[in-house]
Structure 1
Amino acid sequence: MSETSVLRGPVTVRSARPDEYDLVGELTVEVYVGGGMVKPDSGYVPELRDAAGRAAHTDLLVAEVAGEVVGAVAYCPPGSRYAVVAGADEAEFRMLAVRERARGRGAGRALVEACLDRARAAGLRGLRLVTQANMPAAQRMYERMGFRRTPERDWTLDNGVRLLAYHMPL
């Protein structure tokens, strides 16, 4: 499918397959680096690319439209080494990425809803996330979905990148 073709059809969310880990890693780097959210020489790029590593410690989910993987997210249950702000009775999601040409079609929302569904099914108290201050579109989506800012859990990375924390009680 060409990058300029129109995507048609419903969004489907499912677990990523091992044969898709490289694709998910490249998609995540494409979104974060290509979108100007992470510098190409950032030490975070190898972590973004390592979807197989994420899949070993999280539930790595993908969004598909018309058979094409257009987005991904890592759902981090309690105890996951990828959960950085969640408490013992909360889950977290990380590295939400949706290709530019698929935005506005509900893929990001569907991935977040899948994380909410998993947290509810596990009987957890809430779902948390952190997002970079330079991601206003994502912040608007989270707030429309009912997530609320929890600034007491914000922090700034060593490289000066500010991370904003959000929470959805369940």
Structure 2
Amino acid sequence: MRTRYQKDFMKKHGTKLGLMSPFVRAAAYALQETPVVNAVIDENEIIYRHFVDMSIAVATPKGLVVPVLRNVESMNYAQIEKELAALGEKARDNKLAVEDMEGGTFTISNGGVFGSVFGTPIINPPQSAILGMHGIFDRPVAINGKVSIILPFLDLLIISSQVYEMVS
């Protein structure tokens, strides 16, 4: 579907349609529906946020950084793509300020861009959760005694045990 609309999207919005913006939009929606996952921990208190400031892991030559997309719940796909591109460029040019990486309420880490098929992302305190995404590759599986090829997609949502204990 992305391939089908790529040219029209670029023509209309002046930016490419990537794979992250649908996940960012879906996560923002889910976070608004499940406030505890969008919360941050301050000492022994859960602080609920009524906005979604999404941290996005970005690989740079000097290592991984996690800049923040502010108020992502009010962004459309084009705005998300433009902001992701701008933050990614800023990160790769080593021009991120501390303020660019502070205040995230939730993180998405996409190891799939490096070919990962599984991994456990690490929560960025004081956030209460992180979503780890992985690559989609042909894999053989046994179905009814026969080997079939599937394209599994693995996402892993990790929620802080401290948050879990505080709301249980």
TM-score (norm 2): 0.31
TM-score (norm 1): 0.31
